[in-house]
Structure 1
Amino acid sequence: MPRSGDTTPATPRRRRPRPLVRTVTSVAVVSAVVVGGAYAAGLGPFARGATGPEPAALAQARAFLADWAAGRLPNAAGRTTRPATAQEVLRNFTAGLDIRRPTLTVAAAPTQAADDTVDVPFTATMPIAGLGTWTYRSKLPLREQSDGSWKVDWSLSIVHPRLSGTKKFHLEREDTEATPDVTDRTGASLSAAKFPSLGTVLHQLDAGTDDDGGARGAIQLVDRATGKVERTEATFAKKPDRPARRPVRTTLDATWQAAAEKALASGAHGRNASLVALRIDNGEILAMANSPSSGFNRAVSGTYAPGSTWKIVTSSALLLKGAVAPSDVVDCPKYLTVGKEFHNVETSEHRNATFLKDFTESCNTAFISLRGKLGARELGDVAGKYFGVGQKWHVGIASYDGSVPAPRDETEQAASMIGQGRIQANPLIMASVTATAVSGSFHQPSITHGNQDTTTTTPLPRKVVTQLRTMLRTTVTDGTARVLAGLPGDIGAKTGTAEVSDDEPNNGWLAAHRGNVAVACVVEQGVTGGGSAGPVIRDLLNAVPTDPS
Structure 2
Amino acid sequence: MSQYGHINRRRGARRGRGVVAAVAGAGALAVAGSYAAGLGPFARADGAHGPDPAAVAQARAFLADWAAGRVPAASARTTSPDRARQVLDNFTAGLDIERPRLTARAATRTGDDAVTVPFTARMPISGLGTWTYASKLPLSRQQDGDWKVDWRLSLVHPRLSETEKFHLAREESSAPDVTDRTGRALSGDAFPSLAPVLGQLGGAGSGPRGAVQLVDRTTGEVERTEAAFGKKPAAGAGEPVATTLDATWQSAAERAVAEGADGRNASLVALRIDDGEILALANAPSSGFNRAVSGTYAPGSTWKIVTSAALLLKDAVAPGDVVDCPKYLTVGKEFHNVETSEHRGATFLKDFTESCNTAFISLRGKLADSETGDVARTYFGVGQEWHVGIPTYDGSVPVPRDETEKAASMIGQGRIQANPLIMASVTATAVSGTFHQPTITGRTEDATSTKPLPQKVVGQLREMLRATVTDGTARVLADLPGDIGAKTGTAEVSDAPEGADNNGWLVAHRGNVAVACVVEEGVTGGGSAGPILHSLLAAVPGDPS
Query: What corresponds to 1:479 in structure 2?
Result: 472
Query: What corresponds to 2:403 in structure 1?
Result: 410
8 Å contact from structure 1 (residues 307, 497) kept in 2: yes
Query: What corresponds to 1:399 in structure 2?
Result: 392
- Equivalent AA in structure 1 for residue 447 of structure 2: T
Q: 2:315 aligned to 322, 325, 345, which one?
A: 322
CA distance in 2 between counterparts of 1:382 and 1:241 reads 38
- How many residues end up aligned between the 2 structures? 441
CA distance in 1 between counterparts of 2:169 and 2:257 reads 25
- Equivalent AA in structure 2 for residue 391 of structure 1: Q
Query: What corresponds to 1:470 in structure 2?
Result: 463
8 Å contact from structure 2 (residues 205, 234) kept in 1: no
CA distance in 2 between counterparts of 1:14 and 1:517 reads 50
Q: 1:306 aligned to 299, 321, 324, which one?
A: 299
SS in 2 for 1:82: helix
Q: 1:89 aligned to 64, 67, 70, which one?
A: 67
Matches within 5 A, 1:157-172: 158-159=155-156
SS in 2 for 1:204: coil
Q: 1:459 aligned to 452, 456, 467, which one?
A: 452
Query: What corresponds to 2:35 in structure 1?
Result: 2
CA distance in 2 between counterparts of 1:322 and 1:241 reads 51
Matches within 5 A, 1:359-374: 359-374=352-367
- Equivalent AA in structure 1 for residue 245 of structure 2: L
Question: Identity of aligned pairs, percent?
Answer: 69
8 Å contact from structure 2 (residues 276, 425) kept in 1: yes
Query: What corresponds to 2:489 in structure 1?
Result: 496
RMSD (Å), alpha carbons = 4.6
Distance apart, 1:287 and its partner CA: 0.4
CA distance in 1 between counterparts of 2:435 and 2:342 reads 34
Cα pair distance change 1:453/1:183, threshold 3 Å: same
- Equivalent AA in structure 2 for residue 428 of structure 1: L
Query: What corresponds to 1:450 in structure 2?
Result: 443
Cα pair distance change 1:81/1:155, threshold 3 Å: farther
* 2:511 counterpart of 1:548: no
CA distance in 1 between counterparts of 2:322 and 2:202 reads 54
Distance apart, 1:161 and its partner CA: 9.5
8 Å contact from structure 2 (residues 173, 207) kept in 1: no
CA distance in 2 between counterparts of 1:119 and 1:384 reads 29
- Equivalent AA in structure 1 for residue 63 of structure 2: T
Cα pair distance change 1:6/1:369, threshold 3 Å: closer
- Equivalent AA in structure 1 for residue 407 of structure 2: A
Q: Which runs of 5+ in 2 are unaligned?
A: 1-33, 70-90, 100-109, 142-148, 161-165, 214-226
Cα pair distance change 1:322/1:387, threshold 3 Å: same
- Equivalent AA in structure 2 for residue 376 of structure 1: D
Query: What corresponds to 2:501 in structure 1?
Result: 505
SS in 2 for 1:431: helix
SS in 2 for 1:266: helix
SS in 2 for 1:496: strand
* 2:249 counterpart of 1:256: yes
Matches within 5 A, 1:53-132: 81-82=59-60, 85=63, 89=67, 97=97
Q: 2:371 aligned to 373, 378, 401, which one?
A: 378
CA distance in 1 between counterparts of 2:208 and 2:531 reads 42
Distance apart, 1:14 and its partner CA: 12
Cα pair distance change 1:240/1:386, threshold 3 Å: closer
CA distance in 2 between counterparts of 1:87 and 1:378 reads 33
Distance apart, 1:501 and its partner CA: 3.0
Query: What corresponds to 2:331 in structure 1?
Result: 338
* 2:184 counterpart of 1:188: yes
CA distance in 1 between counterparts of 2:154 and 2:173 reads 33
SS in 2 for 1:304: coil
Cα pair distance change 1:125/1:207, threshold 3 Å: farther
8 Å contact from structure 1 (residues 332, 349) kept in 2: yes
CA distance in 2 between counterparts of 1:187 and 1:505 reads 42
- Equivalent AA in structure 1 for residue 333 of structure 2: K
Distance apart, 1:253 and its partner CA: 0.5
Cα pair distance change 1:209/1:376, threshold 3 Å: farther
8 Å contact from structure 1 (residues 311, 419) kept in 2: yes
- Equivalent AA in structure 2 for residue 314 of structure 1: T
Distance apart, 1:246 and its partner CA: 2.4
SS in 1 for 2:486: strand
8 Å contact from structure 1 (residues 12, 143) kept in 2: no
Query: What corresponds to 2:535 in structure 1?
Result: 539
Q: 1:74-115: CA deviations, max 9, x gaps?
A: xxxx9x94389369839997997589xxxxxxxxxxxx9xx9
Cα pair distance change 1:218/1:407, threshold 3 Å: closer
* 2:293 counterpart of 1:297: no
- Equivalent AA in structure 2 for residue 372 of structure 1: G
CA distance in 1 between counterparts of 2:304 and 2:392 reads 23
TM-score (norm 2): 0.70
Distance apart, 1:199 and its partner CA: 1.1
* 2:347 counterpart of 1:347: no
Q: 1:267-289: CA deviations, max 9, x gaps?
A: 01010010100000000000000
Distance apart, 1:211 and its partner CA: 8.0
Q: 1:472-506: CA deviations, max 9, x gaps?
A: 00000000000000000000000000011372211
SS in 2 for 1:436: helix
CA distance in 1 between counterparts of 2:374 and 2:131 reads 38
Distance apart, 1:448 and its partner CA: 1.2
Distance apart, 1:125 and its partner CA: 12
- Equivalent AA in structure 1 for residue 364 of structure 2: R
CA distance in 2 between counterparts of 1:266 and 1:464 reads 37
Comparing both chains, which one has the higher relative contact order based on Cα–Cα distances under 8 Å and sequence gaps of 6 or more? 2
CA distance in 1 between counterparts of 2:402 and 2:181 reads 47
- Equivalent AA in structure 2 for residue 82 of structure 1: R
TM-score (norm 1): 0.70
CA distance in 2 between counterparts of 1:250 and 1:518 reads 18
8 Å contact from structure 2 (residues 35, 336) kept in 1: no
Distance apart, 1:180 and its partner CA: 1.5
SS in 1 for 2:259: helix
8 Å contact from structure 2 (residues 428, 509) kept in 1: yes
Distance apart, 1:449 and its partner CA: 2.3
Q: 1:504-535: CA deviations, max 9, x gaps?
A: 21100000000000000000000000000000
CA distance in 2 between counterparts of 1:335 and 1:265 reads 37
CA distance in 2 between counterparts of 1:241 and 1:452 reads 17
Query: What corresponds to 2:519 in structure 1?
Result: 523
8 Å contact from structure 1 (residues 3, 501) kept in 2: no
